[in-house]
Chain A
Amino acid sequence: RKEVEQDPGPFNVPEGATVAFNCTYSNSASQSFFWYRQDCRKEPKLLMSVYSSGNEDGRFTAQLNRASQYISLLIRDSKLSDSATYLCVVNPPGNTPLVFGKGTRLSVIA
């Protein structure tokens, strides 16, 4: 299994739809997890951190399933401005750098 694996998409959804992305990770000892958002030709920006079972911020919900080693990101009531690539990121054990997934591309269509 790759360290961090994501479906590359693209996910094409209409405005107002609910969309979910899954991400799997290989190191069961990983302690913290993140979702970053990257707009086209821009730097990644932190969207959410996940340290326990999940996190919610407005329309965005992240959930962690340690037993199955996956993290999900749910976006409710999609907006055109949500169109971006979403990067799943895992913090492996020990003092080693974060591991980034290759990203899932989302296009929200009017």
Chain B
Amino acid sequence: SQTIHQWPATLVQPVGSPLSLECTVEGTSNPNLYWYRQAAGRGLQLLFYSVGIGQISSEVPQNLSASRPQDRQFILSSKKLLLSDSGFYLCAWSVDGSTDTQYFGPGTRLTVL
């Protein structure tokens, strides 16, 4: 069966510090991968998605970037965090070639102080 992992679960970072969040999927090949952010009390905002290694589509211009160095690994990064980057970061996957059902990881709760 497929599983999706995210770490860390929680993170507190100062403004201006770098960020690296990692997501890995097991039990499937060439999944579509997604990064979302959910601000407190708000809806899901799609940040990036990837249909294959090295292929990243950005949905919202901002100080975040994403990379997919391996088939089942998706990384979200920032060189300098802003206060507005605080939120709940969720990684999700869907079956290769399909933008249908997505399955979410447990998320990383980021607080920027």
Contacts and interface: CB of A to CB of B under 8 A. Distances in A.
Interface string A5-43: 000000000000000000000000000101000000111
Given A43-B106, A44-B104, A91 B99 contact: yes
Q: Which of B46, B88, B101, B109 has the most CB of A within 10 A?
A: B101
B99 A100 contact: no
Contacts of B106: 42-43
Main secondary structure of the interface of A (DSSP, over half): loop
A45 B104 contact: yes
Interface string A82-98: 00000100010001111
B105 A100 contact: no
A38 to B, nearest CB: 9
A63 interface: no
B7 interface: no
Interface residues of A, number: 19
Contacts, number: 42
B99 A98 contact: yes
Given A43-B106, A46-B101, A97 B43 contact: no
Contacts of A49: 101
Which one of B44, B104, B105 has the greatest number of beta carbons of chain A within 10 Å? B44
A41 B102 contact: no
A96 B109 CA distance: 26
Given A97-B34, A97-B49, A100-B44, A43 B105 contact: yes
Given A87-B44, A97-B34, A43 B107 contact: yes
Interface string B81-93: 0000000101000
Given A41-B109, A95-B99, A100 B43 contact: yes
A43 B90 contact: yes
Nearest to A89: B102
B107 A98 contact: no
Given A43-B90, A44-B104, A100-B44, 6 more contacts: A41-B88, A46-B101, A49-B101, A87-B44, A91-B100, A97-B99
